[in-house]
Structure 1
């Protein structure tokens, strides 16, 4: 009889623990959703500026450099038009900081020359003509 009562107590205790874990996970998920919703509810600033480059590898490097800046949520570089559109939180960064990050990766922007060292380390297909027109329509 003691074994039955002990077994029953163990089962009941395990079910309470499992229930509490489920509630805790649900609460954490809800908290994460709220954080995501708060960040998407905030209006993001948009900017477009010219960036020299040649190919798909350039696109990846340029976009990665831009999104690496705290506050930048999206970056899309147009290879044909030689310009990038960024979406960012203007309380955390500004366009000059984003341009500087792209320039540090080796790519000239409208206002900043790309880092010479980074440019020289780019693959041959990414070494663009420094007189290339930017922000083409």
Structure 2
């Protein structure tokens, strides 16, 4: 009886382990360039990616790289790139239309040429405290 219980336990454990592996098989990670300037950009870019069903999204202002993970049955890197562009941010896959770009806060209006050193600091545009 103990042997049967032991084998049933092993079979159940193996099935659970296989199901977890299968669930993770459709998870993908990638990264791509997204132009932006500041922490407000970071918040908007990451929100756009998450709203496009990315599981995780992290944008680095120093490198202009957005790292995402997503389930390929739910979304794609292409869909995330489109959503980020619709939020106003040029990226490796799509250029934002002028209307979306012009709606960005002044300090978030990045250098659209993508050249180094073209970014503006939000600190310069913050109102002075009295």
TM-score with structure 2 setting the length? 0.68
Matched, 1:62 2:36: no
User: Deviations 1:88-127 (Å, cap 9, x if unpaired)?
Assistant: 0011111111100000000000120012111101111000
Instruction: Structure 1 unaligned segments of length 5 or more: list them.
Output: 1-37
Structure 1 residues 129 and 74, CA gap change in structure 2 (3 angstroms): same
Q: Quick check: 1:105–1:115 contact (8 Å CA) kept in 2? A: no
Alpha-carbon deviation of 1:82? Answer: 0.5
Cα shift readout 1:50-72 (whole Å, capped 9, x = no counterpart): 000000000000000000013x1
The aligned residue for residue 83 of structure 1 is 65
Aligned to 1:45: 28
In the alignment, the residues of structure 2 paired with residue 58 and residue 128 of structure 1 have an alpha-carbon distance, to the nearest angstrom, of 9
Match of 2:108 among 96, 104, 126: 126
CA RMSD, aligned part only? 2.4
Aligned length: 98
Q: Considering only CA atoms, is the larger Rg found in Structure 1 or Structure 2?
A: 1
> 1-side partners of 2:94 and 2:31: how far apart?
14
C-alpha separation in 2, matches of 1:69 and 1:133: 28
> Which 4+ residue blocks in structure 1 deviate beyond 4 angstroms?
none
**Higher normalized helix content (fraction of residues):** 1
Q: TM-score, normalised by structure 1?
A: 0.65
